[in-house]
């Protein structure tokens, strides 16, 4: 496991994001470095495709 956190990552292979996003990069917006749980922007050729919230943080969202 890496001990380095990349705040911007340009994908070198296919993303696991939904096919309709066609994203090329991910930017960390906020992050807990111990658990690596955070909020991420997914970027495509034309700007922001979407926002991803890690599963542990989703548990804290209201119903």
Task: Tell whether 21 is covered by a domain.
Answer: yes
Task: Tell whether 31 is covered by a domain.
Answer: yes
Find the domain containing 44 and state its range: 8-58
The pTM for the full model equals 0.70
Task: Tell whether 1 is covered by a domain.
Answer: no
Task: Tell whether 30 is covered by a domain.
Answer: yes
What pLDDT was estimated at residue 5? 66
pLDDT mean values, one per 10 residues, the chain (63 residues): 69 74 86 86 88 89 84
Q: Give whole-number Cα distances, 28 to 20, 31, 39, 50, 62, in Å.
A: 21, 7, 6, 12, 22
Task: Tell whether 2 is covered by a domain.
Answer: no
Q: Which of helix, strand or coil describes residue 53?
A: strand
| Count of domains for the chain | 1
Task: Tell whether 24 is covered by a domain.
Answer: yes
Task: Tell whether 3 is covered by a domain.
Answer: no
How far apart, in Å, do the first and last CA atoms of the chain sit? 33
Task: Tell whether 63 is covered by a domain.
Answer: no
């Amino acid at each position: 496991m890496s001990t380095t956190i990349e705040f911007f990552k340009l994908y070198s292979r296919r993303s696991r994001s939904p096919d309709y996003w066609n994203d090329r990069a991910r930017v960390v917006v906020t992050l807990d470095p111990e658990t690596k749980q955070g909020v991420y922007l997914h970027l495509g050729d034309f700007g922001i495709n979407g926002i991803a919230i890690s599963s542990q943080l989703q548990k804290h969202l209201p119903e």
